[in-house]
Amino acid sequence: MIRVRNDDDESNQRAIGGGDVAAVRARIRQNAYTGPTAGLAPDMLQGNLVILGGDHAADFHEFCKRNPKPCPLVAMSAPGDPCLRTLGDDIDIRTDVPAYRVYKHGRHTRSVHDIKDLWRDDFVAFVLGCSFTFEEALVRGGIAMPHLDASRSVPMYRTSIETVPAGAFCGPTVVSTRSMVLGDVERAIEITSRFDHAHGAPVHAGDPRQIGIADLAKPDFGEPPQIREGDVPVFWACGVTPQAAIESARPEICITHEPGAMLITDRVCTDTGVFEH
C-alpha cells in the first residue's frame, strides 16, 4: 500500500508548489514526487482519473453524464491511447499521476507509481474535474485553506447521497470537506459555483450527519480534517465517487488515481471558472 504523503513528499511539495506545471509533472513522471497535489501548480486544472476496459467504458461514460456534480468529465481518451492532448501536449496518463490504485473485480488490490506494465489496447482514460482546481480562487477570495499550509490532503467521505446508476455503476456520492468560519460560507459558495468542471458549488454545509457522515474525524479517504473552534464544515461532491461505484460494478480491472494525488494539466483555470486551452 502506498502512503500518499510522507516527510520527503511534504518537503518536495513546498519546493515545487508554485513551480512551472511542466516541471511539476516531470518530477511526478520520474517518481520524484508521489504525494498529494493540493496546492501544486496553482490555477491549473487538476483531474481525477478512471481507466477502464472497453467493455465498461460506455456505461461509465453514461454514469458521468448522469452524475455531473461528482463526475464532471473534462477529457476522455481514445481506446488504447495514453495521451490526452486536449489537456496537455506531453501528458502520458500511464506515468503522470503521483500514485495509482489498481482494482480487480471491484477490490483495491494494490497501489503503484506508474502503470506502463498494466496498459492495454482497449483501455479508455476518463479525467474528471477536481476541487483542488478552485482552491487558489478561494484563497484569493480571503478564505483560509489550512490543509494547504500543512501540505495535507483534504478529507473525503462516503455519504447517504446516492448517485444515478448507469449499467453496473452505482453507489454513494463521495464528498470532500473544507472547514471555514461561518462568514466565509456564502463567499465560498459564490466562488466555487463558477467552477462547474470542478464540482461547482457545495452539496452541503453544516451538520455532517444530515448527509450520512457519522464522524468527521474518520474520513474514508484522505487525511483527518483540521477544524478550528467555530468552523463550519462545507462539503463538495468529489471525484473519488467513481471509486465507490467501481466496487459495485466490479470490472475485471480498473485503474484510478490514489485519492488526493491528481493529474495536473496544462489548462489554466481563471477566477471565472473557465479553463483555457
DSSP codes of every residue in 177-196:
EEEE-HHHHHHHHHHHTT-G
- Write the CA distances from 193 to 5, 104, 162, 248, integer angstroms: 30, 36, 21, 30
Lowest mean pLDDT among 76-85, 134-143, 195-204, 254-263: 134-143
pLDDT at 241: 95
User: Looking at residues 129-147, what average pLDDT do you find?
Assistant: 87
pLDDT at 69: 96
Helix (H) or strand (E) holding 158: strand 156-162
pLDDT at 20: 82
- Asked if 7-131+249-270 and 133-237 have one fold, the answer is no
Q: Rounded to whole angstroms, how far apart are CA atoms 2 and 46?
A: 21
**pLDDT digit string, tens, across residues 5-15:** 444 444 444 44
Q: What is the pTM of this model?
A: 0.87
pLDDT at 151: 73
Q: Which CATH superfamily is domain 133-237 in?
A: PSTPO5379-like domain (3.30.2040.10)
User: Looking at residues 190-212, what average pLDDT do you find?
Assistant: 95
- Write the CA distances from 264 to 29, 90, 178, integer angstroms: 11, 12, 21
Domain boundaries, the chain: 7-131+249-270, 133-237
- Percent of the chain exceeding pLDDT 70 equals 90
Q: Kindly report the CATH number that applies to the domain delimited by 7-131+249-270.
A: 3.40.1640.10
Query: Is residue 17 pLDDT above 80, yes or no?
Result: no
CA angle 31, 102, 217 (to 5 degrees): 85
Query: Is residue 16 pLDDT above 70, yes or no?
Result: no
Best-predicted range by mean pLDDT (3-12, 119-128, 131-140, 189-198): 119-128
Q: Which three cell numbers stand for residue 86?
A: 486536449
Q: Which three cell numbers stand for residue 188?
A: 465560498
Query: Is residue 86 pLDDT above 50, yes or no?
Result: yes
Q: Rounded to whole angstroms, how far apart are CA atoms 6 and 148?
A: 15
Query: Is residue 273 pLDDT above 80, yes or no?
Result: no
Lowest mean pLDDT among 19-23, 224-228, 262-266, 270-274: 270-274
User: Looking at residues 138-163, what average pLDDT do you find?
Assistant: 88
- Output 146 or 110, whichever has higher pLDDT: 110
**DSSP 8-state class, residue 197:** G
- Sign of the alpha-carbon dihedral angle for 55, 57, 61, 66: positive
Helix ranges (H only) for the chain are 7-16, 21-29, 54-66, 132-140, 146-149, 182-192, 241-249
Query: Is residue 126 pLDDT above 90, yes or no?
Result: yes
